[in-house]
Amino acid sequence: MLDKKVTELLNEQINKELYSAYLYLDMANFYIDHDLDGFGNWYTVQAQEERDHAMLFVKYLQNNSLPVTLEAIAKPDKTFTALIDPLKAGLEHEQYVTGLIHTIYEAAYAVKDFRTMQFLDWFVKEQGEEETNATAMVKKFELFGDDPKSLYLLNQELAGRVYSAPSLVL
Ligand code: FEO
Contacts of 153 (CB under 8 A, 6+ apart): 144
Q: How far is the CA of 139 from the centre of ligand 1 (A)?
A: 20
pTM higher than 0.85, yes or no?
Answer: yes
Atom of ligand 1 nearest to the CA of 97: 3
Atom of ligand 1 nearest to the CA of 49: 1
* DSSP-H helix ranges across the chain: 4-33, 37-63, 85-110, 114-144, 148-159
Q: How many CA atoms lie within 13 A of 99 on its CB side?
A: 6
Torsion of CA 70, 76, 99, 54, to 10 degrees: 40
Encode the chain (170 residues) as per-residue pLDDT tens digits: 789 999 999 999 999 999 999 999 999 999 999 999 999 999 999 999 999 999 999 999 999 999 999 999 999 989 999 999 999 999 999 999 999 999 999 999 999 999 999 999 999 999 999 999 999 999 999 999 999 999 999 999 999 999 999 999 99
Q: How far is the CA of 127 from the centre of ligand 1 (A)?
A: 7
Structural domains of the chain, with CATH: 4-72+79-159 (1.20.1260.10)
